[in-house]
């Protein structure tokens, strides 16, 4: 709780200042957004705290038919934003309402969640499912899908770069989110974010992601492929459930075992798909 290691605190004015402070500290500086993760554990090696909540990255707006969210926007700000609420039938807000609790959502930022990338996180699973793209500024500007970032050395990247914006693409269809915790306010024992688009009575596209297995949420491309071109009907969802239960990669941790995760992953995917298809059909 006492952070003896912290020697300096900076309120950065813009991205440039944040970046130059970050590089000035070498490995000893940290970007501070909501602080929900950073100030929770032991201080570690952080010597200089660089507060980035004042660098002008807290806005939400429509962008190219989708949604653009500044990295330091708090989860509460997103939840209260009309554009965010309207995005793909409100899926982002459906997810965020299940993240932590109101006072933590008042503090936590989308960028922080992206970078912390907790394996049990609701946000990473959803970013991947929704095909969110991340913009950052480091030595150079960069842009990549969250999914791709998570496959690479993103932790190293954000030691010398600031995530600036998360872009959510438009989807002609709908998504739904499912989560199971030990209590209603809990991190996920398992989560799933799925979406479908339906055209001419068949599934035109599908997104299926499952997280907290216990590893970080990833898409199940084979399940998506199995959906495309099919008629949305009761038996299809059952088949996908079986498929997921047969093939999904799961593991044990202290929160839940692999057998339960395997079984339940199929159930959550089926339920999310049914709800998404219902919404998409409307």
Ligand X SMILES: Cc1cc2nc3c(=O)[nH]c(=O)nc-3n(C[C@H](O)[C@H](O)[C@H](O)COP(=O)(O)OP(=O)(O)OC[C@H]3O[C@@H](n4cnc5c(N)ncnc54)[C@H](O)[C@@H]3O)c2cc1C
Q: Which of 78, 92, 115, 280 contacts ligand X by CB under 6 A?
A: 115
Q: How far apart are CA 142 and CA 157, in angstroms?
A: 10
CA 111 vs. chain centroid, Å, equals: 9
CA 107 vs. chain centroid, Å, equals: 16
Q: Which two structure tokens, joined as six digits, stand for 71?
A: 């990295």
Q: Which of 60, 100, 220, 243 contacts ligand X by CB under 6 A?
A: 100
Q: Which of 135, 137, 159, 255 contacts another protein by CB under 8 A?
A: 255
Q: Which of 21, 22, 36, 49 contacts ligand X by CB under 6 A?
A: 36
Site for another protein in 178-197 (CB under 8 A): 180-187, 189
96: CB partners within 8 A, 6+ apart = 75, 78, 79, 105, 122, 123
CA 134 vs. chain centroid, Å, equals: 11
Q: Which of 17, 63, 76, 79 contacts another protein by CB under 8 A?
A: 76
CA 178 vs. chain centroid, Å, equals: 14
With tokens 């201080």, the residue in question is 43
CB 48 within 8 A of CB 25: yes
In whole angstroms, the minimum distance from the beta carbon of 117 to another protein comes to 17
Site for ligand X in 203-262 (CB under 6 A): none
Site for ligand X in 51-80 (CB under 6 A): 52, 71-72
Closest by Cα among 31, 253, 17, 282 to 163: 31
Sequence length of the chain is 282
Identity of the residue, 124 or 232, whose beta carbon is nearer to ligand X in the bound complex: 124
Closest by Cα among 191, 276, 216, 273 to 240: 273
Identity of the residue, 11 or 63, whose beta carbon is nearer to another protein in the bound complex: 11
Residues that bind another protein (CB under 8 A): 1-9, 11, 32, 35-36, 39-41, 43, 49, 51, 76, 100-104, 106-107, 180-187, 189, 254-257, 259-260, 263-264, 267-268
Binding site for ligand X (CB under 6 A): 30-38, 40, 52, 71-72, 99-100, 104, 107-109, 111-113, 115-116, 118, 121-123, 158, 162-163, 187
């Amino acid at each position: 709780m006492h952070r003896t290691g912290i020697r300096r605190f900076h309120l950065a004015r813009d991205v440039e200042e944040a970046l130059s402070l970050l590089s000035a500290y070498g490995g000893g500086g940290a970007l501070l957004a909501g602080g929900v993760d950073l100030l929770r554990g032991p201080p570690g090696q952080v010597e200089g705290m660089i507060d980035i909540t004042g660098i002008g990255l807290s806005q939400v707006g429509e962008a190219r038919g989708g949604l653009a969210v500044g990295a330091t926007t708090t989860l509460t700000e997103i939840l209260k934003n009309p554009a965010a609420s309207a995005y793909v039938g409100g899926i982002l807000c459906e997810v965020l309402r299940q993240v932590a609790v109101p006072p933590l959502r008042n503090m936590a930022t989308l960028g922080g969640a992206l970078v912390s990338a907790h394996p049990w996180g609701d946000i990473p699973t959803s970013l991947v499912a929704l095909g969110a793209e991340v913009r950052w500024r480091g030595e150079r500007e960069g842009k990549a899908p969250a999914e791709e970032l998570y496959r690479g050395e993103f932790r190293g990247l954000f030691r010398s770069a600031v995530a600036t914006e998360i872009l959510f693409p438009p989807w002609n269809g709908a998504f739904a989110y499912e989560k199971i915790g030990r209590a209603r306010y809990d991190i996920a024992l398992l989560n799933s974010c799925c979406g479908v688009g339906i055209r001419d009575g068949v599934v035109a596209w599908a997104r299926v992601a499952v997280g907290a297995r216990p590893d970080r949420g990833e898409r199940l491309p084979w399940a998506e492929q199995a959906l495309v071109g099919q008629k949305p009907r009761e038996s299809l969802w059952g088949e996908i459930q079986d498929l997921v239960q047969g093939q999904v990669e799961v593991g044990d941790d202290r929160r839940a075992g692999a057998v339960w995760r395997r079984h339940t992953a199929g159930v959550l995917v089926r339920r999310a798909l049914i709800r998404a298809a219902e919404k998409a059909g409307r």
